[in-house]
Amino acid sequence: MTGRPEKIGALAAMDIFLMLNGQELLPDEAEAVVIINALAAGEFSQGDLSEWLELNSTDLSDGKI
C-alpha cells in the first residue's frame, strides 16, 4: 500500500496528540485505519475528521476506560 508508513505515522501522531491532551481514541485500530485511508484519499474532510474524533474519543479523567 502506497503511503502506508505515513498513514501509520498520522494515526500514531493523532493518538499521541489526544493522549497529551487528556483524551483517548476509542475505536479499534482497524476502524481508525479506515478513517485515515479515507482522509488520505480525499473522501473524508478535515471537518469530518474533527467530528469523528469528537465522537470517538473520551476524556481520560472520567473513568470510562
Average pLDDT over residues 18-25: 94
| CA–CA gap between residue 50 and residue 42 (Å, rounded) | 15
Is the pLDDT at 5 greater than 60, yes or no? Answer: yes
Contact 27, 56 (CB under 8 A): yes
Q: What is the pLDDT of residue 64?
A: 54
- Length of the chain as a residue count: 65
| Predicted model pTM | 0.76
More confident residue, 2 or 40: 40
Contact 33, 7 (CB under 8 A): yes
Q: What is the pLDDT of residue 63?
A: 57
- Say which range, 18-22, 47-51, 60-64, has the weakest mean pLDDT: 60-64
